[in-house]
Chain A
Amino acid sequence: EAGVTQFPSHSVIEKGQTVTLRCDPISGHDNLYWYRRVMGKEIKFLLHFVKESKQDESGMPNNRFLAERTGGTYSTLKVQPAELEDSGVYFCASSPQGSLHYNEQFFGPGTRLTVL
């Protein structure tokens, strides 16, 4: 079974540019999450989709970030315009629709974003 995949693996852009990250979850997983790790800090939650609906977007830093999951399959996270502090590793994770009390999340390899 294929794991969570993310594209691109690395992205280097200049401040003010736009970048779109893509995540393909494990097939059949209704839950999809975006997290971000800034160097030296903890992995921080950004948002959670259940199928195509945003269940929780409390971690989205500001309106420069837009996440979509049309059709409930893959998801994109667009940063527009990018700022220096957006640099970090963006992880996508997915999990099946399961118990409310157990939730193993499967992480993708991440996209390392560098904003110059």
Chain B
Amino acid sequence: GQQVMQIPQYQHVQEGEDFTTYCNSSTTLSNIQWYKQRPGGHPVFLIQLVKSGEVKKQKRLTFQFGEAKKNSSLHITATQTTDVGTYFCADFSGGSNYKLTFGKGTLLTVNP
């Protein structure tokens, strides 16, 4: 079945540094969703990307979908302590198939 690889598994940064997490798949991704899970919390939807080459921004967060729809990235500019958590990408097939296929997530810690 579909597998989504995500790297790095962990990332520790100093507050103010940038952070990027990457997802890729050997097969074409249908739609990519990104979720954030705070420590002790639950996944919270951030965004969905649909189109090849799509780029979306949410304040300091930039989401990209690769031209071939086989990879995606989330970039955070000038991290803050509130950015701490695990960031997951997930493939959403759409159509009649609503299940999400998640990557393993990237745990981001930020040193103040």
Residues of A within 8 A of B (CB): 31, 33, 35, 40-45, 48, 55-56, 58-59, 91, 93, 95, 100-110
Contacts and interface: CB of A to CB of B under 8 A. Distances in A.
Interface stretch (B14-22, B42-50, B58-66, B71-79): B42-50
B32 to A, nearest CB: 12
B98 A31 contact: yes
A48 B101 CA distance: 13
Contacts of A102: 31, 48, 50
A44 B45 CA distance: 16
B42 A45 contact: no
Contacts, number: 64
Given A43-B88, A100-B94, A100-B96, A105 B45 contact: yes
A56 B98 contact: yes
Chain B interface SS verdict (over half): strand
Interface of B: 4, 31, 33, 35, 41-45, 48, 50, 88, 90, 92, 94-105
A103 B94 contact: yes
Nearest to A50: B98
Contacts of A100: 94-96
List 7 tightest A-B contacts by C-beta distance, closest first.
A45-B99, A43-B102, A107-B42, A42-B104, A104-B45, A42-B102, A107-B43
Contacts of B101: 45
B98 A33 contact: yes
B100 A56 contact: no
Given A33-B100, A43-B100, A95-B98, 6 more contacts: A44-B102, A91-B42, A100-B94, A106-B45, A107-B42, A108-B42
Contacts of B104: 40-42
Nearest to A41: B104
Contact of A43 (B43, B48, B98): B43
A59 B99 contact: yes
